[in-house]
Structure 1
Amino acid sequence: MIKIGRITVSLEMREVYLGGELLPLGARAFGILELLIQARGATVTKDDIFEHVWPRSVVGENNIHVQLSALRKIFGDDKQAIRTISGRGYRLTLAVQEVDLGMSASAPMLRVAAGRLNSLPALHGTLIGRESTTTELARALAIGPIVTLVGPGGVGKTQSGIAVARSIADPSGMETCFVALASATRAQSIVSIVAEALGIAPGEGEAVELKELAAAVQGRKLLVLLDNCEHVIESAATVCDVLVQASADVRILATSREPLRTRGEITHWVDPMDTPAVDASPHAILTCSSVKLFLAQLTAFNAAAIGDRRSLEMIATICRRLDGVPLAIELAAARAAVFGIRKLIFELDDRFPFLTGGRRTAPRRQQTLEASLDWGYELLGDPEKLVLQRLGVFSARFSLEAACAVAAFAQLSCNKVTEAIIGLASKCFVGTTCGSNIKEYFLLETTREYALRKLYSSGEADEALSRKAEFLAQSETVSGRGLGMVARRSLTAGEAVASW
C-alpha cells in the first residue's frame, strides 16, 4: 500500500482509500495516478499518459484534463498535489510512502467502487411533446427488463431516455447509470465502457470480462441507460442479455436506430413530433409540439416573437417539410433567428448545406442535418445503400412491387431489394403505413432529399427515373386507375408520424 497525502493507494488492487472508505475512481484516472506514483516526483509527459491510458486510441488532450480533475478532487485541500508543468506534462508534488496495512495480497483483483451510482446527465428545460412517453415507458420497464427506444437520427431518443430514467429512478430509489456507446468500436470496448460506468476497476493489465459485469450487478436495483447502440448492435445486445440475466432487479433502457433483438426486449418507436395540417388554424398550429419547439428555440436565440398568421403558417410549413424531427427543427430555428423565416423556407429546397451549426458541445453527428443521416447511412449494408438511393425517386407512398420495379437492376434482384427494404425499415430509413391489408412504404422528406443526393452522385438517376416512368405507364394500362398503388397522394406530416 502507498500513502500519498490524505489517501492510500493499492497499485495491485487498483484501489484508492480515504481512511477506511473505498473511493470511486475510474480506470483511466487511476492509470494516470499510477504513472505519477511510479515517476516519484519526475515529470510525466502527455505522450506517456496517452500511451499508458489510451493505447491504440486517438483522443484529445481534454480527456487528460477530465481525468486529472477527478484525481485532484480526491486529494482535497492539496490543490498542488498534481502540478502542471507548462508545455511538458505533470508531476506529483506530495511524498510517496510505502506502508504495510496488513492487507492480503490474495484479495480479488476486481472491485466495484463504493457508493450508489447516479450518473444521469441533467435535463435543462422542459422536454416538449414527449409527455405521454414517460408513463408508457415506465409501464414497459415494469413488464420487461429491456426497453429500446428506436427512431431515426435526431428524433430525440437520448433526451427522452434521460427524462424517463429520471422519472423512474427518483421516486423508486434505483441506482442509475448512463453509458454512452458512441465511441465504442468493438465488443471488448463496450464491456470496458460499461464496466467503467458501473464503477468497476480492472486488475493490472487485465480486461473486464462479461462474467465480471454480471457479478458486479448481482443484488443491485439498477437502471442502466445504454445510449447509441446501433453501430455496435450485436455486442450491445449481448451485454444487455448478460446484465438482465444476472439480476432480476436490473432494468435497461437502450437507445438505437434499430431494435437490439434480444430476449425480453420491448421496442418503443420514438415518433417525430406532430406537425400542423396544411389548412390548420393559428390555434391548431400553436398546439403542435414541433411548432412549440421551433418557437422555444427562437426565444432562446432572442429572436423577435412570432404573432401574425402569415408567419405562423410559414413556421407550420417548415415543421412539415422537416418531418417534425427535433434536431432538424432546432437547426432550422437557429438559421431563422439570423436570416428570417422566409429565407429559411426558400433554403429548404437545398437544406443540407444550410442546416448546420448545431451546438458546439454536441457530438459531430448532431451538429448538421447531413451528418445525422451520414451516421446511420454508414451503418447500412451495400445493398441497403443502393436500394435507399434508388427509392429516392418516389415522392409519395409506393408499393413493394413498385420498389422492386425501380430498384432491382444491375446487381440487385427483387429478393435482394425486398431484404434491403426490411433492413431499411428496421433501421428507420423507410416508413411503413399501417391499418391496411396491403403495406405501402414512404421516405420522410429529408431522407428522400438525402437519398436523391446519393442517387445523382452515383450516376444511376437516369436509370431509376426511367424504370419508375415505365412502371407507372404499365400500371395505368393494367389498372385503368391512374397511378394505382404506386404513388397515391403524398402523406401529410401528421399521417407520416402516425404511420412511422
Structure 2
Amino acid sequence: MIKIGRVIVSLEMREVYLENRLLQVGSRAFDILELLIRAAGKTVTKDEILRHVWPDSVVEENNIHVQLSSLRKIFGADSQVIRTISGRGYRLTIPAEPSGPADLHGAVAARQAEAARWSSLPVCHTPLIGRDAAIVDIARALKGTPIVTLLGSGGIGKTQLGIAVAKSIADISDMDVCFITLASVQNAQAAINTVADALGVVRADADLPLQSLVAAIRGRKLLVLLDNCEHVIESAATICELLVQASADLRILATSREPLRTRDEKFYWVAPLDTPEAGASSQAILCCASVRMFLTQMNALNAAVDSDRSSLEMVATICRRLDGVPLALELAAARAAVFGIRKLVAELDDRFQSLTGGRRTAPPRQQTLEAALDWSYQLLSTTERLVLHRLGVFPARFSLEAACAVAACARLPCNEVTEAIVGLASKCFLMTTFDSKTKEYFLLETTREYALRKLHESDEADAVLSRRAAYLAPAYEQPYGRVFGAAALGGKLAMEAVASR
C-alpha cells in the first residue's frame, strides 16, 4: 500500500482508496498513476506514458490529458499532486510513502465493505412457486449442520431456492449473507480467488493460498451461498470443509448437481414441481405447482390461457411431459406465448428443437433445454455416458437387474454398469424410487429423450434394443414359444425407439 496525501494506492491489487472508500479507477488512468509512483518524484515524459499505457496503439496526446484529468479529480483539493512540467511531462509533487498499519486496516475494511455490497443476494423478480415447505426444511437443516447442499438436475431451480432460503435466514437473524457463484470458474485456484474476492480478502498476489480464507471469516456470523459447484466439485468441497472447521459461526448453503461429500454435510434433493395426473379434475390441475408456474410465466408474457377444460388438459400435458422442471416450463411458456399451447403440445416430441427461447441475459446453459443437459452431460465419465445412452430404452421404472441386462456387454461388465448407475444417480441424471421392496430407477422424460438421441447417434442402438427385448421376452411369451415372443417384442421396441427420436 502506498499513501499519497489522503489517497492510498495498492499497486498489487490495482486499487485506489480515498478516506477508506474504494474508488473506481479506469485501467489506463491507473497505469499512468503507477508509472508516476514508480518514478519516485522524477519527471515522466509523454513518450514514456504513451509507450507504457498504449504499447501497441497509436493514439493522440489528448488521451493522456483525459486520463490525467480523471486522476486529478480523485485527489480533489490535492489535484496539484500531479504537476505538469511544460514541454517535458509530469511528476508527483507529494512523495509516495508506504502506508501505516492504521491506513492498511482502513483500506482492508473498505474492501470488505465493498465486497459485501457486491456479493449480496441477487434480487429474484420471478415468484418462487411450490417451494414453501422446502424453504422451511432447508433453513431448519442449516441450524443443525454447517453445510447443506441443494442437489438437483439442471434447471430444477436450485439457485432461486437457495436465494430464497438465504433471504429467509437473513430476515430473522443477524447473519451476514455472501452470495458466490462459481459458474465461470475453471480451476481450483480460480475458485479460491473467487471466494476470497467475495469475502473481502486483500490479495497481494494473483494467486491466494487456500489458508488465507480463514482469517476473512473468523469472528463473523456468516451464511455463504456457494452456487454452481458441480464442475469444480473437489475444489468447492475443500474450501467448504476448511471454512466450516475454522468457524463455528459459519454456515454454507451450496448448490450442485452432485454432493460435495464433505464431513457434516447434509443433502437436500430439490424435486421437480408436482404435476397433474392424467385425467385430473380442473381444480386438481390448477392446484399443481408446475401448472401455477406455467400460467404465471404466460401471464408475465401477456399471453393468458383460457380456463376451459380442453385448455387446462393441454397445460397439464405440457407440465407432465416436461417433468415439472422450472427451466423447461419457462422455455415452454415463451414458446406458447408466440405459437399457442396447442402447437406447443404437438412440438413436445421434438422439444430440443422448439424449447430454445431462453432469456438473452441468462447463462448459455439456461438458454435452451438441450444446453441445460449438455452442461451436466459434459461432467459425466465415458462409462457413465455410455450407460446413460443405453438406459434411455426404458420408458418407465426399471430394476438394477434390468439395467445390467441391457447396459452390460462383453466390453462393459455388470460391476462397471453398477458403478456408473451410482454415479448417474448422484449427479441427478437418474431418479430413484423407494415405494417398493426393491429400489427402482427411472429417467425423467426429457432426460430419456436426450439419452435416446445420444444412443441413436452411436452405432449400438440395435444391439441395446435387442438386449432389452431378450430380457423382457419371458414376460411376453406366448403359447407358440419364447422365440416368437422375443421377435415380436423386438419389433415393438424398435418402432418405439424410432418414434422417440
* Counterpart check, 1:202 vs 2:198: no
Distance 1:102 1:367, change over 3 A: closer
2:116 alignment partner, SS class? coil
- Going from structure 1 to structure 2, the CA distance change for 1:47 and 1:288 (only over 3 Å counts) comes to farther
Which letter maps to 1:37? L
Q: 1:454 to 1:248 in 2, by over 3 A?
A: same
Superposed displacement of residue 384, structure 1: 0.3
Aligned to 1:321: 321
Deviation, structure 1 residue 150: 0.2
More deviation, 244-253/9-18? 9-18
* Alignment-derived partner of residue 34 in structure 2: 38
Instruction: Indicate the larger mover: 406-415 or 325-334.
Output: 406-415
Offset, 1:186: 1.2
In structure 2, distance between residues paired with 1:279 and 1:217: 54
Distance 2:94 2:13 in 1: 17
* Deviation readout 1:79-137 (Å, 9 max, x if unpaired): xxxxxxxxxxxxxx9978544476269979x9562438251111214211111121111
Contact kept in structure 2, 1:121 and 1:162, CA below 8 Å? yes
Instruction: State which drifts further: 33-42 or 114-123.
Output: 33-42
Aligned counterpart, 1:443: 443
Aligned-partner Cα distance in 2 for 1:351–1:7: 58
Give 1:135-174 correspondences, 5 Å limit: 135-174=136-175
**Equivalent residues in 2 for 1:314-353, closer than 5 Å:** 314-353=314-353
- The CA deviation string for residues 423-481 of structure 1, in whole angstroms up to 9 with x for no partner, is 00011111111132211110000000000000000111100101101111134559x9x
TM-score (norm 1): 0.81
SS in 2 for 1:117: helix
Q: Kindly provide the amino acid, as one letter, of the partner of residue 319 in structure 1.
A: C
What pairs with 1:103-182 in structure 2 (closer than 5 Å)? 103=100, 111=108, 113-115=111-113, 117-118=116-117, 119-182=120-183
CA–CA distance in 1 between the matches of 2:402 and 2:310? 39
Q: Which residue of 2 aligns with 1:467?
A: 467
- Which structure is higher in RCO with an 8 Å CA cutoff and minimum separation 6? 1
Alignment partners' CA distance in 1, 2:336 and 2:186 = 37
Alpha-carbon deviation of 1:30? 9.2
Q: Does 1:262 align with 2:258?
A: no
Q: What is the rounded CA distance, in whole Å, between the counterparts of 1:24 and 1:147 in structure 2?
A: 36
TM-score (norm 2): 0.81
Shift of 1:301: 1.1
In structure 2, what is the equivalent of residue 489 of structure 1?
Answer: none
Q: 1:125 to 1:206 in 2, by over 3 A?
A: closer
* Residues in 2 aligned to 1:233 and 1:183: alpha-carbon distance in whole angstroms: 13
Aligned partners of 2:443, 2:55: CA distance in 1, in Å?
48
Written as runs of structure 1 = structure 2, the 5 A alignment for 1:89-488 is 97-100=94-97, 103=100, 111=108, 113-115=111-113, 117-118=116-117, 119-203=120-204, 205-476=205-476
Cα distance in 1 for partners of 2:313, 2:14 equals: 61
Tell me if structure 2 keeps the 8 A contact 1:148–1:260: yes
Q: Distance in 2 between matches of 1:171 and 1:332?
A: 36
Task: Call closer, same or farther: CA 1:97–1:462 in 2, change over 3 Å.
Answer: farther
Structure 1 regions of 5+ residues with no counterpart?
49-67, 79-92, 484-500
Decide whether aligned partners of structure 1 residues 171 and 462 sit closer, same or farther in structure 2, where only a CA change above 3 A counts.
Answer: same
Larger mean CA deviation between 163-172 and 249-258 belongs to 163-172
Q: 1:424 to 1:105 in 2, by over 3 A?
A: same
Show CA shifts across 1:265-286 (max 9, x none): 1100000000011111111111
Q: Is the 8 A contact 2:301 2:334 kept in 1?
A: yes
Letter in 2 for 1:175: D
Q: CA RMSD, aligned part only?
A: 3.3
Q: Which consecutive aligned stretches of 4+ in structure 1 deviate over 4 angstroms post-superposition?
A: 12-15, 29-34, 39-48, 74-78, 93-97, 104-108, 475-478
Residues 120 and 178, structure 1, Cα contact 8 Å, conserved in 2: yes
The equivalent residue for 1:83 is none
- Residues 1:134 and 1:31: Cα distance change in structure 2 (over 3 Å): farther
SS state at 1:261 partner: coil
| Partner SS for 1:253 | strand
Mapped contact 1:3–1:96 kept (Cα < 8 A): no
Structure 2, unmatched stretches of 5+, are 37-45, 57-66, 78-89, 487-501
Q: Higher Cα Rg: structure 1 or 2?
A: 2
CA gap of 1:397–1:9, structure 2 versus 1, over 3 A, is same
The residue number in structure 2 matching 1:490 is none
What secondary structure does 1:136 align onto?
Answer: helix
Q: Name the aligned partner's letter for residue 467 of structure 2.
A: R
SS at match of 2:448: helix
Query: Structure 2 vs 1, CA of residues 253 and 327 (structure 1 numbering), >3 Å: closer, same or farther?
Result: same
Q: For the residues of structure 2 that align with 1:193 and 1:314, how far apart are their CA atoms?
A: 45
Task: Return the alpha-carbon distance in structure 1 between the equivalents of residues 232 and 8 of structure 2.
Answer: 38
CA change 1:401–1:201 in 2 (3 A) is same
1:208 Cα offset (Å): 1.2
Report deviation, 1:215: 1.5
